[in-house]
Amino acid sequence: MDDIQIIDTNDENIREYGVCGYKNIKRPGYSEKIEWLKERFREDLIIKTLYSEKDGTQGMIEYIPGAYCWRPVDAEGYMFIHCIFSGFKGEYKGKGYGTLLLNECLDDAQQKNMSGVAVVTRKSSFMAGNELFTKNGFTVVDKAPPDFELLVRKFGKAKKTPSFKVNWGEEELKRYGKSLTIIRADQCPYTVKNVREIIETAKTEYNIEPNVIDLKNCKEAQSSPCAFGSFCIVYDGQVVSHHPISNGRFKNIMKKVMSLELLGAFTVMVTLLTIMPGPDKLDAGTAINSII
């Protein structure tokens, strides 16, 4: 398709080309993303838009010097890719446009004498898989639960290798307590509407007052307990969502969590009742019926 262009998108023209597929200023998340970008442009963030004269915006890449990335990664000296995608319409998929956008980042990083380019990948929504990167010279250098990978393409003999910053154990999650914690940032515009709905659902359907943490800068994002960085949901000391989700998906997760909690309570009660001495002892079936 000969009409494809790569547009350097900035504060002056971003409303013309949109961001993350958003162009409607009234759509939740759009204005928040624009304001977030204004701050990041001061940190040398770059957005390049894949644009078709016929069909408009068909993809983008967002990257930033690693010291300012919004993932829990130590990538200082490298360029870091936040997100990349192409093909809002099917005919733009599988045409090599992802590589075209990636090469823009690689060229930019080399011109700025950086050590290489780093990116976090995962086979799920809201994040690119590793295939685009491995076929363009990237290698996996670190991993994070449940299935995140940190990939790097080094230039020359760069000595330092990027790595994840966070210790992913239970101790790291204790600081969020036993309740529901939603960690988010305006880096991802899709979270604005979804988080509002999730908060309402938590209150009305589960009688939970969630703790919402709005990340304000890259240092806070780099301390996130999830490798996604700018989104995470923690409940009762466990990560229940590692990436942005819809309200419907949240309900499904909570149903499963609540079922497991109820099963755990049954198990404890049955154990206690069946080990009671003397005439108060109950068999398991009677114990369960008494709880129900």
pLDDT value of position 93: 85
Scan for tokens 């080094």, then name that residue.
154
State the average pLDDT over residues 155-178.
86
Task: Report residue 292's pLDDT band, with 50, 70 and 90 as the boundaries.
Answer: very low
Q: What is the pLDDT of residue 264?
A: 47
Cis peptide before 146 (omega within 30 of 0): yes
Q: Which pLDDT value is given to residue 3?
A: 83
Spatial distance between the Cα atoms of 60 and 96, rounded to a whole number of angstroms: 13
Q: How far apart are CA 5 and CA 8, in angstroms?
A: 10
User: What are the angstrom distances between the C-alpha of 220 and each of 71, 180, 185?
Assistant: 9, 19, 10
pLDDT tens-digit profile of 124-164?
777 888 999 999 999 999 999 999 999 999 998 877 999 99
Q: Are 95 and 121 a contacting pair, CB within 8 Å?
A: no
Angle at 145 between CA 205 and CA 177, to 5 degrees: 45
pLDDT class for 284, splitting at 50, 70, 90? very low
Tell the residue number behind the tokens 């993932």, with chain if given: 71
What are the pLDDT digits (tens) for 17-69?
877 766 666 778 888 998 999 999 999 999 999 999 888 888 999 999 999 99
Interatomic CA distance for residues 160 and 243, integer angstroms: 28
Task: Return the pLDDT at 30.
Answer: 85
Between CA 275 and CA 260 the distance in angstroms is: 23
Q: Long-range contacts: 253-258, Cβ < 8 Å, 24+? A: 254/201, 254/202, 254/205, 254/206, 258/206
Q: What is the mean pLDDT of residues 244-252?
A: 95
pLDDT given for residue 261 in this prediction: 61
Residues 110, 120, 21, CA angle at the centre, nearest 5°? 90
Q: What is the pLDDT of residue 279?
A: 53
288 pLDDT higher than 50 = no
**Which phi and psi (to 5°) does residue 106 adopt?**
-60, -45
The string of pLDDT tens digits covering residues 75-116 is 999 999 999 988 878 888 888 999 999 999 999 999 999 999
10-14 contact pairs (CB < 8 A, 24+) = 10/41, 10/47, 11/37, 11/38, 11/41, 14/47
Report pLDDT digits (tens) over 265-278: 444 444 444 555 65
Identify the bridge partners of residue 4 per DSSP, sorted by sequence position: 52
CA distance to 14, 124, 142, 243, 288, per residue, from 233 (Å) = 30, 16, 22, 8, 32
Tens-place pLDDT, residues 209-231 = 999 999 999 999 999 999 999 99
Strands (DSSP E) contained in 193-230 are 211-214
- DSSP one-letter string for 113-152: T-SEEEEEE-SBTTB--SHHHHTTT-EEEEEETTTEEEEE
| Residue 117: predicted pLDDT | 98
Sign of the C-alpha dihedral computed for residues 103, 108, 112 and 115 taken in this order: negative
Tally helices (H) and strands (E) across the chain: 9, 13
